[in-house]
Chains A and B, each alone.
Chain A
């Protein structure tokens, strides 16, 4: 056999050049971190912005139920972030904008889960795909293979715009105003890597919905939510959005506030950009617990926030990308594979009717349906995903989507094909009914893999699925339609606030032991785009949660009034009564009487909180200046590679580029919008940092700054570039970049001192 090439070589012609370049950069950053040339905090945020996330126990220790074991990881002290051991496996989050997938992508996702993870692709509550137990050294190859089929992990984590989600029925929904898919896609593309979205103090989530009344888009719980709307203006029907900002779940849930009841489609992207700029400028950066945009909107008030965004909007230079896509909206329209034919008279295999009742949605387009593939806990094996990639082209075109309920949907299935599709799904173990019912429990990863997990959300979800599926045929119709959502902690990745019955993991100290519990939340509203948040009604030991579900649902069936919703029922009987109902379930027997209470679902270890780590949800707050300085280091590294290969000219040019980039990083501390133009950067650098002597070294004075200007003059003179000169330039560039770091440190200290002084003035009576 011939020598094995790398994925980089093999896929070079298939990867979009910009994606390929980004991955090369990330690979270099990995190398630089290994050499200790990137600070671990900067590297942590860098990898998060590439979707490379930490995982439980990655601090190198794990409680085995008896003692804490130091894990044998041969990292030799190398870390990939604060308290994050290099060789510890991690999670990769893969952005799937609006959940859209095609069979080719599904096949690659299957392959990657097999080769780099544990054989499972996990669909998240925000339409992403996640892999667990991935080694960071494998991530560049993994990313290249994704890039070759048009998928990026960029900005899947970190303080950036996360995956843009949308209703999975968009375009085929009977109630939608119009298809929001192309808008979600354009928004995702426009904001990805946009300079105005790189300096947030926290993540930023956007969702689109085609209608107001259904839950699919969940716009009310997002930082920014857009609901399709039409309006007649001057006799002409125009498209736009009911536009919301400042929603979010987490420990303190906020419902999004109305920003504009009709934002014309042309204004969608500029307003998103302007809002990003306001959030970047005014959002909290130091206190991460209050850094989401919901706090900024609450603090300023929606009117002031709106005023500031509109003012910012006016200042923006026009960008053709704001509206270019609007002329191509018609190109988006999906096409079916086959004519739409109704099911009448078709032979129905065993089990089909139950599946049909829960997993099939009749599209707006006659004869077509959306078929939901129920994924238990959002998990799908490599074989199943590959098989689905085979099954899909028999029934549909590239019209598959992930859902926020952790399932997959096939859109545009001819109804007459459903029995065959069902049989094909059953053959690969995916013919489970109950999609979107009480059995289809949603859960975040919890203690299975999340560093912040307190209790086992997946363990509980597994138990509830089994418990409820066994009873599903006997369940009252009113109960079947309820939603259960479980989070491993208060951060609400399992979206427990918007469930009819929600749970989030907590612990309680009982009899000298720590006992896993779940806080019970009742009355949340999944409908109406996450229309209401549930209220906590009490903490119950983890092992008694299935009884909570039985108790609450049985009582609802018994006592509900005609047509009364679950939310109304809970509201009518009142929190006090609900709490009293649960009282009998809150007792924990002594350890020697029943030790099962002292361990969590699916985990035989005695329960402990020892394994909780520092979360990476928020990422590190790393400024754009720091990122730019890190990028200059990387560029200098590339210059060194050119030097080693004997290309001295390229080495000198690249080293100079690295210096300019470092200067740009420093300028960004005072002038965020500095362009990439070399002249502008040098001029601003001269004026702001040389003329003011801010860049000057205590002992060397302006020497390091001079390296930059001298290098520029030398390049202009076009003299011969030999090895000695190149080496000197590389050394000078390194010194310049080091000086830039020192300058950045000095500026940060000055800023902190200034803040402290302001705080001191503001509180003269303290102390």
Chain B
């Protein structure tokens, strides 16, 4: 099996479908035609650019350039985590907790996979590093965003209960124990569900891509399995780090609950 190259014409044909969708939206007065077209144009531009950037990266295998790309990916993911918080930490912590836990989990798991599992030579070969890191960042990002959001929102609502436990002489970790556990659980549920239904409902995106590009299905399945395990580990580690740092930051050195460190609900 070999890969069938897509010509610009093939893509133009597919884009006609999007135009048709926009036209239908206009006819049915759904009012989303503008947004459909803008989103389609954005994805075309962004993916073309990423394709070009990766082409340059793959041709050079230069560590500084790859590091720069990884940094850009991390900072965008960090921003996204911050944006998804109803009540986020004020100051640098709002950005820092999410980014640092993503950095710790995604980068270490990617490194582990590259050196010990896949055994790429050199370990930073971009054809492996960039897609792996992207998958991990994308998934840990959702897990961490959900877990952190859950932690801060529930702590905000349970202020009376947390302080009652502090007044009863419990230390801060005991006082926030329930909320912390719930936050961690909520962050892990998406990946656990994804593993549980993998292959039964739909083929995961990466496996689909490999099959379309001509890989034997068993090879694609093995890679997908590897990725899923990595994502599960990365999401778990990342959510734990974020929830730990976040809950620590909710209390000060005298073990007072410091909800004033959270910024109020601004968005949504």
Are these two chains actual partners, yes or no?
Answer: no
Listed in ascending order, the chain B residues whose CB lies under 8 Å from chain A are none
Listed in ascending order, the chain A residues whose CB lies under 8 Å from chain B are none
